[in-house]
Amino acid sequence: MKIWYGYGSEHSANLVMIGHFQDAGDAAKAKQVIDQLVERVNAEVDAKLITVGDPPTRYTDRILTFLREVKEYHIGLSELEQFAYDVKVELNADQIVVTTDEVDVSGFLKVLLDNGARIEVYSAHNYAGTGHGRRTKTS
């Protein structure tokens, strides 16, 4: 079960972020980095090394080693918890589509940018047929 970590909002963002890549290989690489970050951050949360809602004061050795391995040098300490939020990430050929009710998505944005994406971000409340209605199982 995923817990939604939202604070003080009765209105969800229904945010959609689409990373457009030059080719499917770049998109797949970015998706792999996101999936691994989600897995590693959730493991750190489960181990009580990262507390959602209370940003860490330093990177854990495992997270720091991983960020170096994948050359993600821009993700800040306060952004790590974003990878523990309820976020759907879909790989569609040369695109990655991120949908969430959160507005704090800068960590995802940085991974997409670092992997060469051109990015569009919007609230699906204003665009029919996108956002929650589009959500499918992560591929």
pLDDT tens figures, 103-114: 999 999 999 999
Residue 136 lies inside a defined structural domain of this protein: no
Number of domains the chain contains: 1
pLDDT value of position 13: 79
Do residues 14 and 101 lie in contact, with contact meaning Cβ atoms separated by under 8 Å?
yes
**High-pLDDT (> 90) share of the chain, %:** 73
Nearest residue to 101 (alpha-carbon basis) of 1, 6, 17? 6
Tell me which H or E stretch contains 129: none
pTM: 0.82
Find the helix packing angle between 24-46 and 61-69, rounded to 10°: 170
Residue 137 lies inside a defined structural domain of this protein: no
pLDDT value of position 125: 83
Question: Positive or negative, the Cα torsion across 34, 35, 38, 39?
Answer: negative
Residue 24 lies inside a defined structural domain of this protein: yes
Question: Which domain range does residue 89 map to?
Answer: 15-127
Average pLDDT, the chain: 87
Tell me which H or E stretch contains 27: helix 24-46
Residue 88 lies inside a defined structural domain of this protein: yes
Q: Is 10 exposed, middle or buried, given 0-12, 13-18 or 19+ CB atoms closer than 10 A?
A: exposed
pLDDT in tens, 46-103: 999 999 999 889 999 999 999 999 999 999 999 999 999 999 999 999 999 999 999 9
